[in-house]
Amino acid sequence: MTYVFSACIIFISVVLSVRVVMPLIFFNRMRLRLFCWLSSLYILFLMFAISVRFSLSA
């Protein structure tokens, strides 16, 4: 059950980051690259925080 909850949170964060990044394609390529890198780093950090929290609570 905790895996389903963490997967839902990760999916929502991915969708939000994609919705933030997608309009930037039409404005600036370098800014797009920076935002893609930052969003992937944010998603990795979120997955790590969720796994740590569930391992501590279990």
Position 48 scores a pLDDT of 84
Tokens of residue 48, six digits: 């790590």
- Per-residue pLDDT tens digits for 1-58: 677 777 777 788 778 777 776 666 666 666 777 777 887 888 888 888 878 887 777 6
Position 18 scores a pLDDT of 75
Position 3 scores a pLDDT of 77
Global confidence as pTM: 0.44
Position 24 scores a pLDDT of 64
Position 1 scores a pLDDT of 62
Residues whose CB falls within 8 Å of the CB of residue 51, separated by 6 or more in sequence, listed in order: 6
